[in-house]
Structure 1
Amino acid sequence: MSSLLFDERPLVVQPKLAFVLGGSDEAIILQQVHYWAQKNTNIKDGYSWVYNPMKEWQKQFPWIPERTLARKFANLEKSGVLVTNNYNKAKFDKTKWYRVDYDALDKMEHRLCQNSMTSMPDCHNGECQNGMTNTIDYTETTTDINNTSETQNVSDGAPKKTIKKKEYNLDSKEYRCALKLQEEILKNKPNFKKPNLQKWADTFRLIHERDKREWTEIGEMILYATQDDFWKANILSPDKLRKHFDLLEAQRARDSKPRKKQVFQRETLPDWAKDIPESRKKRGIKKTDSVRINAEIDALLKELELDDVEGSGTS
């Protein structure tokens, strides 16, 4: 029997909650806050709270890097479904206290039910029903609905709703990230089929807007993924980059940690070993690939940061 199959207490979450919050990680985080707040007796201002530093939370979600986890907590807080406060007795203690705002969560669910033209789980005619759903589709695309077969009518006799594709300028950050990814892939695969860069650009928009990734962070990951010996053969589109972003981020952080130096005992060489040929003395140490990679990352970051200063963040 596999050691990965439910011999330990699993993290359980409703697919509909993941749909409402926009991701399975966010749903699991909110579910755990709810679970521990209900088990605790920390009652403040009429509510049950749970408090933990981010390092302790990360132990419950070991597949999520701590930096990414902190960002997901912050996004839940911004959305209004997660409330934070500080009830610590010591003023220097900045540990956050958390609780779920159930009213805000219900409103978010109801709003999505009314506005969604897609197959939201257990949602019919703008009314959300209770129950479990086995599958959920997280695919996010921008489509052009112009012909009859691709058009959905809100009701019989209602005018057809047309959604036009967004066209990205060549100097927009989304398009430039798409172009940069293509350029790096071509260095490894010269015969790589030319992609639809507009579609790629739209995926980079989702990475920035939906996944809350900074442009500099995206630029770093493009270069890392296309120059890593394993990932350069697997990250051949923005969709793949987006799917594995957290894993790439964790591996990159691990690779960047300095390794401990081994201590060797220095021994006295015999006289015959001290005569080193001139040809060996002249050998220099080759520059590592990391120097070139870091230089490219720095150049790309400067370019993206310059755009942020000039106020082009709305592109």
Structure 2
Amino acid sequence: MEPVKEPPPDLMNTGKSRYGEPVESQSRASREPVRNIYKNDKNEKNDKNDKEERDIVAPGGSTPTHQADYGSGSFEMQCVEHLIASCLESFPKAKVPDTLAKKNKWALEIEKMKRLDHLSEAEIKQALIFATSDSFWKTNIRSTKKFREKFETLYTQSQTTRGKSSNALYDTADRLNKLGGEIGG
């Protein structure tokens, strides 16, 4: 007669899963839903995004609406027109907003700079003039979205070059003229 083999231990009776992790009793699992303790980061990020979106909703339950139609004389629209003119000056076939709706979308970025970033019109104007006159930034700032993104850099650089010639060629020519005057005089 062959020896009787014992059946493999029941996974539920050992209190451990096949991976050695503790398993709760069957009676508790039937009473309460099982919570996933191994939540992946993606779900946590989605939960966080959902919360942030809910925080934006106004008390009445609707999302806040901001002025979507900026008049041609508004500060926001003047900034947009200045940036469009700069883009077209450097490249006449530049892709710039050509309809009022598209211009309003660009103007919204300027409005966000004032409302959300707490910037004054004078600060925005100073950085915009610098961005559209500096040879490097003129070719890199092609929209109000990019202007808002790079504002801090533009503003600080405009502060350091204020009162100075931003063109190194003119600075070099001035130094050579002074040197020539000292040598020849």
Q: TM-score, normalised by structure 2?
A: 0.52
1:205 aligned to 81, 104, 111, which one? 111
Structure 1 runs of 4+ aligned residues shifted over 6 Å read 259-263
Instruction: Describe the superposition over 1:240-262 as per-residue Cα deviations: whole angstroms up to 9, x where unpaired.
Output: 11111111112222223659997
- Amino acid of the residue matched to residue 140 of structure 2? N
Contact 2:106 2:144 in 1 (8 A): yes
Q: Which of the pair has more CA radius of gyration? A: 2
Instruction: Describe the superposition over 1:60-101 as per-residue Cα deviations: whole angstroms up to 9, x where unpaired.
Output: xxxxxxxxxxxxxxxxxxxxxxxxxxxxxxxxxxxxxxxxxx
- Amino acid of the residue matched to residue 188 of structure 1? S
Report how far residue 232 of structure 1 moved. Answer: 0.8
Cα 1:266–1:169 change in 2 (3 A) is closer
Contact 2:87 2:96 in 1 (8 A): no
Secondary structure at the aligned position of 2:106 is classed as helix
Instruction: Describe the superposition over 1:107-156 as per-residue Cα deviations: whole angstroms up to 9, x where unpaired.
Output: xxxxxxxxxxx9646959x8xxxxxxxxxxxxx9xxxxxxxxxxx9xxxx
Distance 2:86 2:183 in 1: 47
- Amino acid of the residue matched to residue 232 of structure 1? K
User: With CA pairs under 8 Å and 6+ residues apart, which has the higher RCO, 1 or 2?
Assistant: 2
Which protein has the bigger strand share? 1
Distance 1:123 1:232 in 2: 39
Q: TM-score, normalised by structure 1?
A: 0.32
Contact 1:175 1:197 in 2 (8 A): yes
Instruction: Describe the superposition over 1:31-87 as per-residue Cα deviations: whole angstroms up to 9, x where unpaired.
Output: xxxxxxxxxxxxxxxxxxxxxxxxxxxxxxxxxxxxxxxxxxxxxxxxxxxxxxxxx
Distance 2:119 2:104 in 1: 19
Distance 1:185 1:238 in 2: 11
1:178 aligned to 74, 80, 90, which one? 80
- Percent of residue pairs bearing the same amino acid type: 26
Report how far residue 230 of structure 1 moved. Answer: 0.7
Instruction: Describe the superposition over 1:268-287 as per-residue Cα deviations: whole angstroms up to 9, x where unpaired.
Output: 66xxxxxxxxxxxxxxxxxx
- Amino acid of the residue matched to residue 123 of structure 2? E
What is the Cα-based RMSD across aligned positions, in Å? Answer: 3.8
Q: After the TM superposition, which of the residue ranges 241-250 and 212-221 deviates more from structure 2? A: 212-221
- Amino acid of the residue matched to residue 161 of structure 2? D
Which protein has the bigger helix share? 2
Partner of 2:153: 247
Contact 1:184 1:223 in 2 (8 A): no
Partner of 1:192: 94
Partner of 1:10: none
Question: 5+ unaligned residues in a row in structure 1: which ranges?
Answer: 1-117, 127-139, 141-151, 153-159, 270-315
Report how far residue 171 of structure 1 moved. Answer: 2.0
Correspondence list, 1:290-305, <5 A: none
Distance 2:96 2:134 in 1: 22
